[in-house]
Amino acid sequence: MTEATLTHPGQQPGITPAIHYQVTMPQPESHLFEVTLYLKDYILPILDLKLPVWTPGSYLVREYAKHLQDFSAQSGEELLPWRKLGKNHWQIETFALDKKPDSTIEVRYRMFAAELSVRTNHLDATHGYFNGAALFFRILGVEQPIYVTIMPPHPEWRVTTPLPALPEQPNTFLASDYDTLVDSPFEIGCHQLYQFAALGKSHELAIWGQGNADPTRMIPDIQKIIQVEAELFGGLPYDRYLFLLHLSSQGNGGLEHKYACSLNYPRFGFRAQDKYGRFMQLVAHEFFHLWNVKRIRPQALEVFDYDQENYTASLWFSEGTTSYYDLVIPFRAGIYDVKFFLNGLGKEITRLQTTPGRRVQPLSESSFDAWIKLYRPDANSGNSQISYYLKGELVSLLLDLLIRERHGNACSLDNVMLTMWQQFGQAEIGFTPEQLLDVIESVAGMNLADFFKLYIYGTEELPFDQYLEPFGLRVVSDLDEESVPHLGIKVQAENGREFIKFVEAGAPASAAGIDPGDELLAIDGIRVTAQQLSDRLKDYQPGDTIQMAVFHQDELRYLPITLSAPSPSRYQVVPLEQASSVQQQNFAGWLGVSLTTI
């Protein structure tokens, strides 16, 4: 259908939308979505349109407006003048309009869509995927239901979205408001579509892309995850939920919505047990968000400001606690065993303890500064930051253990989640950091001001052993006589050359003047690669001085570096050699299996 022959669906009998978006993609390989906004009965002299600069769930200003082109506005045959008032702000002069009762403003534009991620838009010859924030304008001063009609380029392409479809209007959907439109991703193409039930509610799994995903194995496991999470929160707060899965070469990510989640996972990441386990963690994580963050929201995210950053110190709870549960839930669902679970904890403790930034940036600040730090990593990030996902997950572990130990497993972090749901989530009233502390304290039955001060607002090391010991566990590191003297760099090969990617602040390499970006050439006159580095250092002792040859800003340099004592590179959670019966009981109460099984 060409533009000239478009019939505005608002003129068809049956519906009279005030705001109607039509999305076509006549040449999907051009990566251009063609969008027309029909606005009926608009009576003000000026029409302001704004495109969000970010989308909820992904805390980075992404400037979606940079992909917009070919903007125009008209009413009937008459072109309407317009101008830009800001990077994401278009203003149309509508005062010249002859105000007939059926006058309709048409705004047309194209949106370039070639970034395949869960929070951007992607259109090519195989499919179209978009997020509302990256495609649809917000109309200032107009809060009404929004109709969306998709016109696929091929008859065999189908449209899948969590939005309800209008009966008798092909591929037309209704969003009750703009927030709902932004919260409803669209998948358009020949994706596989599976329908299944869980707890009497209908669910869909849409899969785009080729790979070794096996729905006959995946769907029963997703059903188990739904069941376990519903049990925790006391039911499912929806009638229909969509899992949207993109299989790609190396993507790994998810974006939560109220009635859906978008997942991106490596196309061949489903056979090996560890990879499959991590996929089910991704499912558990995004699904958990339908409560924690989509409905149990920090007050700062209660009303989204689509024009700028929305700051909150509580992402450690929204993302970190969700990350703790993404490890717990598949274990409870029987998808992996206790060894996989404890192994997973060990890996996360390793990531925390090998990130020097944990001693620099408090967890609350990591959350607040997500916009400029976590989503914008650079060569110094490891020295100055700690992820609120990672540390938030491990702080949640400590809180869970603390509550369980005090209450003999009769209470746990589950009760915190349930209380947060009942007090804030169900009614969708945003919570403040103080209210969150209150709930955790009331469940724990103790004052946690010091805990918060040290581990959330401060940078004190997390005392894992103190919290694990009552459960018959401890953390061990890999330090032994074989350990390598410490240099403090990470090296990566690129096109046959070895580049230093990270230099640990205060470590020997940093003190000697090595910088990220330097090209590593040799140690003591002999070429060394990233792969050989660790082995080569085994020939030295702490206190020895090596001479390292590097290209630094194209200059050949020989730098003497005095190696220091080894530092651990791996941590594991292991059972105590002799656990008491109370410890064994605590462990079994926490994880439902005997300590002797690990």
Question: Do residues 68 and 60 make contact, with C-beta atoms less than 8 angstroms apart?
Answer: no
Type of residue found at 385: Q
Question: Do residues 388 and 366 make contact, with C-beta atoms less than 8 angstroms apart?
Answer: yes
Q: By C-beta, is 373 or 486 nearer to Zn ion?
A: 373
Alpha-carbon span 16 to 281, nearest angstrom: 44
Q: Which run of H or of E encompasses 34?
A: strand 32-40
Q: By C-beta, is 34 or 319 nearer to Zn ion?
A: 319
Alpha-carbon span 145 to 133, nearest angstrom: 16
Q: Build a one-symbol-per-residue string for 201-220: x at contacts with Zn ion by CB under 5 A, - elsewhere.
A: --------------------
Nearest approach in angstroms of CB 254 to Zn ion is 7
Nearest approach in angstroms of CB 229 to Zn ion is 14
Radius of gyration (C-alpha) of the chain in whole angstroms: 27
Alpha-carbon span 330 to 336, nearest angstrom: 7
Alpha-carbon span 87 to 405, nearest angstrom: 53
Q: By C-beta, is 106 or 319 nearer to Zn ion?
A: 319
Window 319 to 358, contacts with Zn ion (CB under 5 A) = 319
Q: In what order do the strands lie in the sheet with 104-112?
A: 78-79, 68-75, 104-112, 32-40, 19-24, 146-151, 172-175
Nearest approach in angstroms of CB 390 to Zn ion is 12
Nearest approach in angstroms of CB 172 to Zn ion is 31
Question: Do residues 391 and 361 make contact, with C-beta atoms less than 8 angstroms apart?
Answer: no
**How many residues touch Zn ion (CB under 5 A)?**
1
Nearest approach in angstroms of CB 322 to Zn ion is 5
How crowded is the C-beta side of 46, counted as CA atoms within 13 Å? 9
Nearest approach in angstroms of CB 352 to Zn ion is 18
Alpha carbon of residue 382 to chain centroid: 19
Encode 242-258 in three state secondary structure: EEEEEEECCCCEEEECC
Q: By C-beta, is 183 or 319 nearer to Zn ion?
A: 319
What's the chain's length in residues?
598
Q: Build a one-symbol-per-residue string for 301-320: x at contacts with Zn ion by CB under 5 A, - elsewhere.
A: ------------------x-
Nearest approach in angstroms of CB 422 to Zn ion is 22
Q: By C-beta, is 319 or 393 nearer to Zn ion?
A: 319
Alpha-carbon span 336 to 346, nearest angstrom: 15
Q: Build a one-symbol-per-residue string for 89-128: x at contacts with Zn ion by CB under 5 A, - elsewhere.
A: ----------------------------------------
In Å, what is the CA distance from 183 to each residue of 136, 338, 448, 485, 564?
12, 35, 35, 50, 51
Q: By C-beta, is 31 or 289 nearer to Zn ion?
A: 289
Nearest approach in angstroms of CB 317 to Zn ion is 11
Q: By C-beta, is 319 or 504 nearer to Zn ion?
A: 319
Q: Is 538 helix (H, G, I), strand (E, B) or coil?
A: coil
Q: By C-beta, is 319 or 369 nearer to Zn ion?
A: 319
Nearest approach in angstroms of CB 421 to Zn ion is 17
Alpha-carbon span 79 to 101, nearest angstrom: 19
For 489, the token pair is 């760099």
Q: By C-beta, is 242 or 579 nearer to Zn ion?
A: 242
Q: What residue number has its CB nearest to Zn ion?
A: 319
Q: Which run of H or of E encompasses 46?
A: strand 46-50
Q: By C-beta, is 363 or 514 nearer to Zn ion?
A: 363
By CB atoms closer than 10 A (0-12, 13-18, 19+), residue 118 is buried
Nearest approach in angstroms of CB 439 to Zn ion is 20
Q: What is the dihedral of CA 452, 591, 348, 296, to 10 degrees?
A: -50
Nearest approach in angstroms of CB 234 to Zn ion is 22
Q: By C-beta, is 179 or 319 nearer to Zn ion?
A: 319
- Where do contacts with Zn ion occur on this chain (CB under 5 A)? 319
